[in-house]
Amino acid sequence: MDKLWRRCAAFVLVAAGLLPGAQAQGDGKTEVLWLGQSAFRITTPGGKVIVTDPWLKPNPLTPPEYKNLEALGKVDVLLVTHGHGDHFADAPEIAKLNNVPMYAPGDMNQAVGLLGILPANLVPRFNKSGTVTPVPGIKVTMVRAEHSSILVHRNAATGKDEAHYAGEPVGFIIELENGFRIWHMGDTGLFSDMKFIAEYYKPDLVLMPIGGHFTMDPRDAAYATREWIKAKAVIPMHYGANPLGKGTPAEFSQALGSTSTRVLPLKPGEKVIF
């Protein structure tokens, strides 16, 4: 993995300019495109497309071209960390558009199925510590996050919104075909098992919330990175789209101080290639 990371790190440096139009399509590289909040499109070395927490149409920071969900391309893996609208909003449409299962907390998916939002074949159930192989060569393991989760659904009969239990929030360890591991933390506050998750799964890249109020703020995220996770690279997320998410990558980097961790701040629509 160290040799793999050295090779990947070179691509990070090359991608610092974030060349427009650069995209990994089965060329042995990994492309990570941020679409705002916790939404990412990850294109794997084998050309598979993974989409996380797709809050795109209502997100004020999502680039206009990605308001059209077909612009994501053929989605092979769909991951949702919890039931809040800024993570789940466009997931049902993407699942139907691509006929691809939505992998999310098991109890959330049961609610989504029972409410008729998605058919049973598109809401598989698994839970923390469980691992699935949604497509050959890609493994996804569900891990803990410290947050909450409800699902707001409009009752067609009454025309009113209803809140439904949506399981416990989670994060995902995503292992790609070449062994490169990405930890999408979901929405989370600090919890000491972050250290265990980092030591056990050894992620190469961490997608980390920094906005504060609903999640870790920059100081919290810096502490977790420096003391527990010791990540090789971090992409900050979940800030800026909501006025309450005031944390910034600059504040995160300042709080982090001198460290070997690379902070890769992106604007929505920008990408890095590993």
**Residue 49 one-letter amino acid:** V
Can you read off the two tokens belonging to residue 108?
């959330």
In DSSP terms, 131 is beta-bridged to 141
**Planar angle of CA 55, 58, 59, nearest 5 degrees:** 65
pLDDT of residue 78: 98
pLDDT of residue 237: 98
Share of the chain above pLDDT 90, in %: 88
pLDDT of residue 62: 95
The domain in which residue 16 lies consists of 2-273
Model-wide pTM > 0.85: yes
Q: What is the DSSP string of 186-249?
A: -S----THHHHHHHHH--SEEEEE---SSS--HHHHHHIIIIII--SEEEEES-SSSTT----H
pLDDT of residue 17: 34
Distance (Å, rounded) from C-alpha 85 to C-alpha 53? Answer: 9
CATH code for the domain in which residue 103 is found? 3.60.15.10
pLDDT of residue 110: 97
pLDDT of 3 above 60: no
- Name the residue with higher pLDDT: 5 or 239: 239
The whole-number average pLDDT for the span 119-136 is 97
The whole-number average pLDDT for the span 47-69 is 96
pLDDT of residue 26: 65
Q: What is the mean pLDDT of the chain?
A: 91
Number of domain units in the chain: 1
